[in-house]
Structures are given as structure tokens and as C-alpha cells.
């Protein structure tokens, strides 16, 4: 079949991208936008005018997934061809196939590769493509169309060393895989040359960076700070157990160099040791408090410490809930990202019983605000 790469009006295929999820997903969306914009056969366009809509979607929470599936159905009803990619494509392809049979489901790795134009042309011509399970092979430097031209987010690693019982990420992304240090430096230089004033390092766990390469996040930050140019550096979420071994060296750098934000994001998830064990979080609340207090003492009160809490985890009692409230009152984190537990199909915590009754779960979540 002759490839036309044209829509019914004889124009280049018009593509709209919708991205949801974390900073990793958004950074991948920015790379994908550039790939489309650069192609001579494709052009970025609005949702209304698009011939094809790419939905780059997150799988972290079941309620989010439900909304995303509804969104996909709505866009199909608008008469658009759609491709679902990102974490949701990898984790929930069976559900997508059942509930949105018109959608193509494609690994983002394939969309970032050489066959992007062919895939989009085939989908526009009426094919439905299912091709998932292709691990992302990112090689920096890459070009991007940034959502905010002053902020450049760089995924530095994918996957995790932990196996939290509620988390889908490790199923999708596997064990930690870090990008080579020199590649990340070249990406940072590229972004700074482009006028970016804030570099954000992101990963499923930034403190796990380099564990598979024999280097650390501290090594990476030292190298980034050697780059000439006016920029600041922000370090993304770090798991307390991987953050702890590098914390002294990392906090020293943050103290010595004003370009690094005094911002530390270390999710605790619960104030109860019993719940932490069920979550398979590899630390106790006492160890977490010690780490938190060290960060506060070293960086002072002009720092920002963020944490995450999952309320109403299965089997959570009033006593566990009160332990979380007490811990928050005592430590006083500056930012608390609070979410109510919801089963994520395919994760071990879905099997835990009893679940917290939804009325009680709502009340406990409210009390934590
Ligand atoms: S890595 Fe996790 S939070 Fe980020 S988009 Fe994927 S499922 Fe969502």
C-alpha cells in the first residue's frame, strides 16, 4: 500500500497529544511532541482539529484509570482515531481492548522510534495496532517541546529497588535502570543552552540513581553543577531507604551550592510500623523520623520537606490512623501529598483484608488535611 501520510483534505496528519501522570510521563510527552512536530508528514494540532489523538496515560491509581478510559471513549465518540500509550497501555491493555476496542495500544518506545509516521498513517487509515511490552530505550541528548520553556525535566532513571505492595510502577518499569551520567549531562547542557532556568531531575526514586551503574545521585549532581550557565537544580522524589545512605553527602552539596533547591521529597506513606510492613516499605517510622530530623536540622527552617501519605490502607485501624496524625503533628512536613488508598489491580495489596469502609476512609483522609 502506498503511504500518503495525508488526511482526507490532503494535508499532513494532524496530531494532538494528551499526557497525564507524573513528571516522567510529562517529560516523555515533551519528547513525543518534538518528534511529531519535526516530522514532515505530521503536525501538532488542537484536539478539535486533530486526525489522531495520542493519549499518553498514567496507571498509578484506579480512579484515574477509570477517568482516562472515559476520556478515551469520549474522544472516540468525537470521531477521532486514538492511540493509547504510556503506563496505562502497558498495565491495562486488556481492559482498554475490552472497553475501547477502537483504540490502538502502543508502547511509547515505538512512538519515539523511526516508525512513528508509519504507525500514525496506519491508524489513520483504519488499522488498530496492539504492540506493547517494548521497554523504553531513551538516549540523551534528545530534543523536546517544553510545556514551560524555563523548566526542563530530565528523567534520570526508571524503575525502583523497592517492591511496595500497592505500587504498579515496579510491574511496569522493573528494577532500577539509570541513564548514563554523561548522557544526562549532555541533556542538561542542551536544555540550559535552550534557555531553561530550572533543571528538574526525576525518577521513580531519584536516590536510587546509579545503583546499577556504580555511581550515585551525588556524583551526578556534582557534574551538573560544573556546567556553565545560569540555572537552578531541583531533585525529585527519593525513597527514604535509598536516600539515607547518600543523605550526608547530598545535604552537604545542597548547603554549599545555592543553585540546588533546599527541597527534599521523601514519602513516608504511614505513621504506623504495622502498616509500613504491610506496604512493604523498608524502614520503620523511627528511622524515617531520624532521617527527617537530620534533613531539617542540616537545611534549617528555610528548607521545604515534602512527604506522601496513603490513608486508609487495607487493615488500617483507628490506632494506625492516629499514629499517622501524631507523626505529622510531630514532624510538621511542609508539604503533604495525601491520597486515599484504592486497589490497583495486579498489586499485592489488593489481596489484603479487611478493606477500610469507604465512609471511614473518607473521614480519616479528611482528618489528615
Ligand atoms: S510512572 Fe507511575 S505515576 Fe508516572 S505515569 Fe507511570 S504510573 Fe503514573
> Which residue's CA is the nearest one to ligand 1's atom 8?
58
d(CA 267, ligand 1 centre) in Å: 16
Q: Is the CB of 59 under 6 A from ligand 1?
A: yes
Question: pLDDT tens, 273-299?
Answer: 999 999 999 999 999 999 999 999 999
Fold of domain 13-131: Rossmann fold (3.40.50)
**Backbone phi, psi, residue 284, to 5°:** -100, 170
From the CA of 20, give the closest atom in ligand 1: 5
Tell me if 314 sits within 8 A of 364, measured CB to CB: no
Q: Which residue has the higher pLDDT, 6 or 121?
A: 121
Tell me if 192 sits within 8 A of 200, measured CB to CB: no
Q: Is the CB of 331 under 6 A from ligand 1?
A: no
Question: pLDDT tens, 205-241?
Answer: 999 999 999 999 999 999 999 999 999 999 999 999 9
d(CA 22, ligand 1 centre) in Å: 5
pLDDT in the model for residue 3: 62
From the CA of 23, give the closest atom in ligand 1: 4
Measured distance CA(72)–CA(57) in Å, rounded: 10
Measured distance CA(369)–CA(359) in Å, rounded: 16
Domains of the chain: which residue ranges? 13-131, 151-368
Mean pLDDT over the full length of the chain: 96
pLDDT in the model for residue 255: 97
Q: Is the CB of 165 under 6 A from ligand 1?
A: no
Q: Is 239 helix (H, G, I), strand (E, B) or coil?
A: coil
pLDDT of 270 over the 70 cut: yes
pLDDT in the model for residue 269: 98
Question: pLDDT tens, 129-158?
Answer: 999 999 999 999 999 999 999 999 999 999
pLDDT in the model for residue 4: 66
Q: Is the CB of 159 under 6 A from ligand 1?
A: no
Average pLDDT value for residue range 97-114: 97
Measured distance CA(119)–CA(111) in Å, rounded: 8
From the CA of 168, give the closest atom in ligand 1: 7
d(CA 274, ligand 1 centre) in Å: 26
ipTM of this predicted complex? 0.91
Measured distance CA(349)–CA(169) in Å, rounded: 14
Q: What is the dihedral sign for C-alpha 210, 216, 221, 227? A: negative
Measured distance CA(138)–CA(204) in Å, rounded: 15
In angstroms, the Cα distances linking 95 to 82, 103, 136, 264 are: 15, 11, 22, 37
Fold of domain 151-368: pyruvate-formate lyase- activating enzyme (3.80.30)
Strand order in the sheet with 81-85: 42-44, 13-19, 52-56, 81-85, 104-106, 130-131
Q: Is the CB of 155 under 6 A from ligand 1?
A: no
Amino acid at each position: 500500500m502506498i503511504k500518503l501520510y495525508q488526511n482526507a483534505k490532503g494535508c499532513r496528519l494532524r496530531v494532538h497529544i494528551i499526557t497525564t501522570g507524573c513528571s516522567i510521563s510529562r517529560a516523555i510527552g515533551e519528547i513525543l511532541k518534538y518528534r511529531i512536530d519535526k516530522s514532515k508528514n505530521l503536525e501538532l494540532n488542537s484536539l478539535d482539529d486533530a486526525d489522531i489523538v495520542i493519549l499518553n496515560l498514567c496507571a498509578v491509581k484506579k480512579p484515574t484509570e477509570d477517568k482516562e478510559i472515559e476520556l478515551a471513549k469520549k474522544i472516540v465518540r468525537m470521531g477521532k482515531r486514538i492511540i493509547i500509550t504510556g503506563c496505562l497501555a502497558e498495565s491495562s491493555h486488556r481492559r482498554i481492548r475490552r472497553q475501547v476496542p477502537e483504540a490502538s495500544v502502543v508502547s511509547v518506545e515505538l512512538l519515539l522510534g523511526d516508525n512513528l509516521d508509519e504507525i500514525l498513517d496506519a491508524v489513520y487509515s483504519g488499522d488498530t495496532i496492539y504492540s506493547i511490552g517494548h521497554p523504553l530505550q531513551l538516549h540523551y541528548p534528545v530534543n523536546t517541546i517544553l510545556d514551560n520553556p524555563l523548566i526542563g525535566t530530565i528523567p534520570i532513571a526508571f524503575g525502583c529497588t523497592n517492591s511496595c505492595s500497592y505500587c504498579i510502577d515496579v510491574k511496569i518499569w522493573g528494577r532500577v535502570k539509570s541513564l548514563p551520567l554523561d548522557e544526562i549531562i549532555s541533556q542538561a547542557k542542551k536544555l540550559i543552552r535552550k534557555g531553561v532556568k530550572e533543571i528538574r531531575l526525576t525518577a521513580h526514586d531519584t536516590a536510587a540513581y546509579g545503583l546499577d551503574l556504580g555511581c550515585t545521585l551525588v556524583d551526578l549532581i556534582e557534574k551538573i553543577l560544573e556546567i556553565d550557565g545560569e540555572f537552578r537544580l531541583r531533585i525529585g522524589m527519593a525513597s527514604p531507604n535509598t536516600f539515607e545512605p547518600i543523605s550526608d553527602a547530598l545535604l552537604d552539596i545542597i548547603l554549599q551550592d545555592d543553585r540546588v533547591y533546599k527541597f527534599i521529597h521523601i514519602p513516608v506513606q504511614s505513621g504506623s510500623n504495622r502498616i509500613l510492613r504491610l506496604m512493604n516499605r523498608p524502614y520503620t517510622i523511627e528511622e524515617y523520623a531520624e532521617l527527617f530530623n537530620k534533613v531539617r536540622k542540616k537545611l534549617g527552617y528555610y528548607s521545604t520537606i515534602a512527604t506522601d501519605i496513603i490513608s486508609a490502607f487495607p487493615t488500617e485501624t483507628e490506632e494506625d490512623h492516629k499514629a499517622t496524625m501524631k507523626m505529622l503533628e510531630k514532624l510538621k512536613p511542609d508539604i503533604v501529598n495525601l491520597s486515599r488508598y484504592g486497589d490497583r489491580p495486579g498489586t499485592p495489596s489488593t489481596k489484603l483484608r479487611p478493606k477500610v469502609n469507604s465512609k471511614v476512609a473518607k473521614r480519616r483522609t479528611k482528618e489528615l488535611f
